Amino acid sequence: MSAAGSEDAAPSVDAFHRGRFVLVQPQEGHRAGLDAMLLAAAVPDGFDGRLADLGAGAGAAGLAVAARCPAARIVLVEREARMLAHARLTLAHEANAAFAGRVDLLAADVTLTGRARRESGLADTSFDAVVMNPPFNEASDRASPDALRRAAHVMEDGLFEGWLRTASAILKPRGTVALIARPQSLQGILTALGGRFGAARILPVHPRAGTPAIRVIVRAVRGSRAALVLDAPLVLHGEENGFTPAAEAAINGRAALFAR
Identify residue 78 by its one-letter amino acid code: E
Across the range 178-195, mean pLDDT stands at 97
Residues in Cβ contact with 146 at an 8 Å cutoff, skipping those fewer than 6 apart? 3, 6, 28, 29, 30
User: Per residue in 210-227, pLDDT tens?
Assistant: 999 999 999 999 999 999
Across the range 91-114, mean pLDDT stands at 97
Q: At what angle do helices 186-193 and 159-170 cross, to 10 degrees?
A: 40
Picking from 32, 36, 42, the residue whose alpha carbon sits closest to that of residue 217 is 42
Identify residue 256 by its one-letter amino acid code: A
Kindly list the domain boundaries of the chain, sorted by start residue: 3-251
Work out the burial of residue 260: count CB atoms within 10 Å of its CB; fewer than 13 is exposed, 13-18 middle, 19 or more buried: exposed
**How are beta strands 21-25 and 12-16 bridged, if at all?**
antiparallel
For residue 229, how many other CB atoms are within 10 A of its CB?
12
Across the range 34-63, mean pLDDT stands at 97
pLDDT over 80 at 172, yes or no = yes
**Across 29-33, 50-54, 131-135, 194-198, least confident range:** 29-33
Q: Is the domain covering 3-251 a CATH 3.40.640.10 domain?
A: no
Read off the pLDDT band of 137 (50, 70, 90). Answer: low
